Structure formats: structure tokens, C-alpha cells
């Protein structure tokens, strides 16, 4: 009599993902070039996911030591954005306290009259750069008057596809979406597969919607309207 496997660890390495995607697109993966072009498409696909919004498994908590009179700090180059941030004072002591840090835009930062003022940082401005200056730069105001810790939760880039033996940097819930999206990307590049593009795109969007709906915080939220009186 057959029994349940008792495991729940199914995963796919990049080669298996590429093979499944090619088959869904309507063709077998036949050459090393087919694997290379699938790898390139998968890397572009995961960048698209970063542009679509927050991927929960890529949220990381990080800290940066602030130095007195230094306002600008470079974050890791694979940082997409900072989503929550605070200043920690007297870190590691009985008087440690975490204080909210407000994020401002370039216009607000530009309008600050004295950018050389010092004190406990209250605001931060982030420049998300490109090219040779890939590291996002965060600028604090006022400049730190002593040592603090900048504590933040960041979104990092999804890791590259790598070689054929690498596992994808996604949670298992996104595997169907990853395969569907890669099949759609592959079909767009092969002229004889063009008739399948619309179908594959529809399947991909459906899979992404299901995965994104599951990949979210499940805490309750309460909204209270602000009513003014005249």
C-alpha cells in the first residue's frame, strides 16, 4: 500500500526551471545557448518583480554606525530601498532607545537652510543612484552630534540565477510564478513561439497575482479618518 512521502521540501534548481519553462513555451531546451538565454531572462524577470512591489522574503534588517559630524553614508549596492528606519541611541546599554526617523524627499532636503547643523538625526534623504555609483546614499539631518546606530529594514535585490546547479532565491510559493514568467519571457524571444505569448502572459499574471496575494503581512490594520471642525 502506498504511503505519504512525509517530506515537504520540493525545490527546483535553475536547470530544472529552465527545462520546465522551455517545455511550457512549446519547445525542449536543446543547447547551452537555450540555457544561457533562459538565465538572462530569469535575471530580468526577478528585476521586474522588484519593480512590482515588496517581495517579503527580500526584507532584511541592517544597521550602520553613524559618526559625529558625518552626514552621508553608502548602503550596500544590492539595496533596492529602505522601507522602515529609526535611530538607536546608547545602543547596548540600559538606556537604549529607538527613535523614529522621518524620510524626506529631495525638495524638502534642498529647502533646509542650515545643512551643517548637528544634533540627533531627525530626517533622512536617500539618493538611489546608478552606474558606477550603484550604492544608495543616505544623508541625515541634522548631522550626528555623536555616535548613533542607524537601524533600518531594507529591500534587497533577488540573487542572480547563477549556474545550472543553483537554487533560485525565491520562496517555494513563487516557483509556479517563476516558471510561468520565464516561459512567457522565452516565448517572446522565439518567433515560432509567438502564437503562445498571449496565453503564457495570462498564465504568468494569474500566477503572480496568487503568489503576491499570499506574500504579504497578515496583521490587522485600523484606519481612523481625520475630521476637521470649522
Asked whether the beta carbons of 82 and 150 are under 8 A apart, the reply is: no
Q: Would you call the peptide bond into 182 cis, given omega within 30 degrees of 0 as the criterion?
A: no
Residue range 150-168, pLDDT digits in tens? 999 999 999 999 877 889 9
- Average confidence (pLDDT) over 171-184: 96
Q: Is the pLDDT of residue 97 over 80?
A: yes
Is the pLDDT at 220 greater than 80? The verdict is no
The pLDDT value given to residue 130: 74
Look at residue 191 and give its three-state secondary structure. helix
pTM, full prediction = 0.85
Split at pLDDT 50, 70, 90, the class of 228 is low
Once rounded to an integer, what is the mean pLDDT over residues 1-10? 86
Given this model, what pLDDT does residue 4 score? 86
Domain boundaries along the sequence of the chain: 14-54+159-214, 57-156
Which of helix, strand or coil describes residue 139? Answer: strand
Alpha carbon distance 101, 147 (integer Å): 16
Please, how many CA atoms are within 13 Å of residue 73, restricted to the half-sphere of its CB? 20
Q: In this model, does residue 223 exceed pLDDT 80?
A: no
Q: What percent of the chain has pLDDT over 70?
A: 93
> What is the tens place of the pLDDT at every residue in 29-86?
999 999 999 999 999 999 999 999 889 999 999 999 999 999 999 999 999 999 999 9
Looking at residue 169, its pLDDT comes to 94
Amino acid at each position: 500500500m502506498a504511503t505519504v512521502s512525509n517530506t515537504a521540501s520540493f525545490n527546483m534548481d535553475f536547470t530544472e526551471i529552465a527545462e520546465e519553462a522551455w517545455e511550457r513555451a512549446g519547445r525542449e531546451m536543446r543547447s547551452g545557448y537555450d540555457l544561457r538565454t533562459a538565465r538572462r531572462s530569469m535575471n530580468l524577470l526577478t528585476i521586474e518583480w522588484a519593480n512590482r512591489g515588496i517581495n517579503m522574503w527580500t526584507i532584511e534588517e541592517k544597521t550602520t554606525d553613524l559618526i559625529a559630524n558625518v552626514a552621508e553614508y553608502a548602503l550596500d549596492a544590492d539595496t533596492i530601498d529602505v522601507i522602515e528606519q529609526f535611530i538607536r541611541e546608547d545602543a547596548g546599554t540600559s538606556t537604549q532607545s529607538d527613535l523614529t526617523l522621518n524620510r524626506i524627499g529631495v525638495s524638502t532636503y534642498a529647502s533646509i537652510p542650515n545643512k551643517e547643523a548637528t544634533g540627533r538625526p531627525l530626517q533622512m534623504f536617500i539618493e538611489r543612484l546608478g552606474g558606477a555609483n550603484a550604492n544608495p546614499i543616505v544623508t541625515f539631518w541634522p548631522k550626528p552630534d555623536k555616535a548613533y546606530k542607524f537601524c533600518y529594514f531594507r529591500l534587497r535585490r533577488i540573487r542572480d540565477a547563477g549556474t545550472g546547479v543553483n537554487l533560485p532565491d525565491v520562496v517555494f510559493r513563487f516557483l509556479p510564478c517563476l516558471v510561468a514568467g520565464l516561459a512567457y519571457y522565452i516565448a517572446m524571444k522565439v518567433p515560432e513561439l509567438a502564437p503562445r505569448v498571449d496565453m503564457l502572459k495570462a498564465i504568468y499574471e494569474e500566477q503572480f497575482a496568487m503568489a503576491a496575494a499570499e506574500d504579504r503581512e497578515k496583521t490587522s490594520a485600523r484606519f481612523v479618518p481625520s475630521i476637521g471642525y470649522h
